[in-house]
Amino acid sequence: MTTPDWLRQRGGELKLGSDKATWYVVVGGKPLYDLVTAPAAGKHSCGIRHTNNGQPIESKGVYASADEAFRGGLDDLKAHLGWS
């Protein structure tokens, strides 16, 4: 996965976790959010969590592939943060 422009413009980047399943949204050198895709009703969804307190961020989309679910999760995070 490549870091989307909206995140890069804010000094952020995506980093793959050591488990090879979790992606971290890193801003200022600190992992602020993690995203993990999972099977959902024969398709895929994306779980988003704030890393410092474990609070989930709502992401209800269900997608045909894990890559689409991850991109959908990033869009949900972007909307949650109010970043356009």
| CA atoms within a 13 Å half-sphere pointing along the CA-CB vector of 55 | 6
Nearest to 17 by CA among 2, 38, 3, 31: 31
Q: Within a 10 A sphere around the Cβ of 60, how many other Cβ atoms?
A: 9
**pLDDT for 84:** 76
What's the pLDDT tens digit per position in 26-49?
Answer: 999 999 999 999 998 899 999 999
Beta bridge partners of 36: 22, 47
What's the pLDDT tens digit per position in 49-69?
Answer: 999 999 999 998 999 999 999
Query: 10: pLDDT confidence band, cut at 50, 70 and 90?
Result: very high
Beta bridge partners of 25: 14, 33
Q: Compute φ and ψ for 12, nearest 5 degrees.
A: -105, 170
